[in-house]
Amino acid sequence: MGSYDPEPQKLSIETPCIPSAALSRAAGCNIFLKLENLQPSGSFKSRGVGYMMYRAMLEKPGGNVHFYCSSGGNAGLACATAAATLSQPCTIVVPMTTAAHMIEKMQLLGAKVHQVGSHWAQADAHLREELLAHDPIGVYVPPFDHPHIWEGASRIVDELVYQIKPYNALQIDGIICNCGGGGLLNGIMEGVENNFKSADKKPKVLAVETVGADSLNASVKAGHLVTLPAITSIATSLGAPRVSERTFRWSREAPHLESLVVTDAEAVTGSVRFANDARMLVEVACGATIATVYNGDLRRVMGADGLSDEEWSRRNVVVIVCGGSNVTLELLRDYQEKYGVK
């Protein structure tokens, strides 16, 4: 294994960016879908987590590592996927509340999965104290708070710059993504800084959370980092009680960044309508992002209320379809019934 130097692009792919007639009609402007749901792990996490793991492996003598991750969600699945690609062992420690189908997905990829504790903090403590501390080649894989994770995610914007040009889109006016701990958002902001040097050319970035998982919005309102006492949203992939410090700094430094919160019902509506319009199944954390296209928030928050309908119709907005594997048809139907979504 010592001489193996895998190509980093095999850990993630350049995803398509396609126009959507259905979502454009709903929003009243040109909507482009950046399909991160097509990444090897099923979510954007493949970009940042995969790149971080690749860099960590190259830094180890002989390239031999054992990866450890305490996420029972998309970060854990991305870790298991990347470890399989890199032909390195991987151990995932998840709380007892983790869905069985997510554990099965990770085990299918060859990861060793331990279930410990009633919540993430207990699983993470067990991983660090009982496993990682005793493994000299162990590498901790955080779900979002690492510069290499942000760098990997920033390449989304690198791709967008040239992907929309064949559609006669002269510029990107807005980018919508969700925010859990901030890994994706940090990458998008970094990518915007790298690709748009002029302040008046920077696209507005809309960071979306759900009520009950809105740690960024709470921090923005308070003027300091806030730790939520509990996660009460069904969008558990957004359930970081506290965003990274870099995410909060972006909210203070970047006038082109806006924070927005939608309800769980709106997030479910986003996933359901997207399944009908785009024929793709995404979890409700991703549905929260998409909901802003359908509910009118996009036009309101993007500062376009002063534009005529004709002017707004020429704006180009990219929706980051982040994906996520914590979704099934049965689960989405249950949410539809619970929230009365048609």
Q: Is the pLDDT of residue 1 over 70?
A: no
Cβ-Cβ contacts under 8 Å for 295 (sequence gap 6 or more): 262, 266, 269
CA distance 98 to 72: 6
pLDDT computed for residue 2 by the predictor:
39
pLDDT computed for residue 87 by the predictor:
92
pLDDT for 234-283, tens place per residue? Answer: 988 888 889 999 999 999 999 999 999 999 999 999 999 999 999 999 99
pLDDT computed for residue 3 by the predictor:
42
pLDDT for 285-321, tens place per residue? Answer: 999 999 999 999 999 988 766 888 899 999 999 999 9
Q: Is the pLDDT of residue 5 over 60?
A: no
**Averaged over 145-165, what is the pLDDT?**
96
pLDDT computed for residue 6 by the predictor:
54
C-alpha 70, offset from chain centre: 17
pLDDT for 58-99, tens place per residue? Answer: 888 777 899 999 887 899 999 999 999 999 999 999 888 788
How far is residue 311 from each of residues 21, 23, 29, 30, 306, measured CA to CA in Å? 18, 17, 9, 11, 9
Which residue pairs from 32-35 have beta carbons closer than 8 angstroms and sit at least 24 positions apart in sequence? 32/163, 32/164, 32/167, 32/169, 32/316, 32/317, 32/318, 32/319, 33/278, 33/318, 33/319, 33/321, 34/156, 34/159, 34/160, 34/163, 34/318, 34/319, 34/320, 34/321, 35/280, 35/321, 35/323
**Averaged over 174-180, what is the pLDDT?**
96
Q: Is the pLDDT of residue 339 over 60?
A: yes
pLDDT computed for residue 63 by the predictor:
76
Quickly state the pLDDT bin for 141 (edges 50, 70, 90): very high
Question: Is residue 76 within 8 Å of residue 236, measured between CB atoms?
Answer: no
pLDDT for 202-235, tens place per residue? Answer: 999 999 999 999 999 999 999 999 999 988 899 8
Helix (H, G, I), strand (E, B) or coil at 115: strand
pLDDT for 10-60, tens place per residue? Answer: 899 999 999 999 999 999 999 999 999 999 999 999 999 999 999 999 888
